[in-house]
Amino acid sequence: MADRRSFPPFGPLRAFDAFGRTRGIRRAAEWLQIDHAVVSRHLRALEKWAGVPLLDRAGGGLTEAGRIYHDRIANALDEIARATEALRAGDLPQLSVWCVPGFAFHWLVRRLGNFRTEFPDIDLLLRPTDARARFWSDGVDADIRYQLDGRPHEPQPGIRQAELARPPVFPVASPDFLRRAGPIRTVGDLLSQPLLAEEDSHEWQTWLARQGVAAPSMIPAARLWHAHLVLASAREGQGVALANPFLLEDDLRNGTLVRVGSPEAPFDGVAIGAYTLLIPENSWERPALVRLRSWLIHVAGAFQPGAGAHAARAS
């Protein structure tokens, strides 16, 4: 008996799936690692085969028929990918997780042993990097970023996010630096001190504004790019750094860095951003990612009281 099921050609189907996920021909080509002209040709071929317009070329997305069709075939292709992954990996799901380096180095890596103990059936690969994941081309399952308030974050189409924690941020310095610097009685006094920053002074400007201090549009600050370099510079007595408890666990306990202000009343910590977990929407309910997401929310909430209330919000 002949197979009467109707299957589209697989190349055009994958191109359509990539376009539906990324909302762009060039982004789909980047994800599939083929030329964008090939993607365009595949999309036209699928529409001709189906006899139905699938792309809304005026609006830049999918037609209603295209959206309905994509919702169904995307789930089917995801299941094929998961089945293939299980077949090749002996049923051990693998997660590729990118993470902002400071959070990975100072807080996350020392807790991964507990994650592996709790979930021995998940093979987690952690990559600390400043680069935001391009999920469709980098093969990344999840990405952890620190998203600073007031800075535009262009959401990638098809990406959901969960807030893990909004930690308080406060200035710290080495005890030796504070002895040499003399009294720093008010937040405004910080503007006369050497300030340490990552790639720019936006974090300092945001924090000072939340403290009610007017600051120049460009604050003179040593730019060191990475959070761990900023903290290393602060430990060496080179200036004042802004940081949060996720980055300062050892330093505050050991006294290598202390909070700036009077010993009785250091300057208040203010939340100016959030650690955020980003996951493609089509993988949001993948069991291994559900476990990772729940574990991160729980552990971050336990580390920072009150963080869990923020972390529960997802979009």
pLDDT tens, 256-288? Answer: 999 999 878 899 999 999 999 999 887 898 889
Locate the domains of the chain by residue range. Answer: 10-89, 94-167+273-300, 168-271
pTM score of the predicted model: 0.77
Torsion of CA 42, 47, 50, 51, to 10 degrees: -150
End-to-end CA distance of the chain: 48
What CATH architecture does domain 168-271 belong to?
Answer: 3-Layer(aba) Sandwich (3.40)
What CATH architecture does domain 10-89 belong to?
Answer: Orthogonal Bundle (1.10)
Comparing 94-167+273-300 with 168-271, is the CATH topology the same?
A: yes
**Distance of CA 207 to CAs 68, 203, 216, 231, Å?**
45, 6, 13, 17
Report which of 189, 124, 153, 93 is spatially closest to residue 278, judged by C-alpha positions.
153
Other CB atoms within 10 Å distance of the CB of residue 71: 12
- CATH number listed for the domain at residues 94-167+273-300: 3.40.190.10
Query: How high is the mean pLDDT of the chain?
Result: 87
Residue 312 confidence (pLDDT) above 50: no
CB 21 within 8 A of CB 158: yes
Q: Would you report the helix, strand and coil content of the chain in percent, each value rounded to 5?
A: 50, 20, 35
- CB-based burial label for 211 (10 Å; 0-12, 13-18, 19+): middle
pLDDT tens, 120-138? Answer: 989 999 999 998 888 866 7
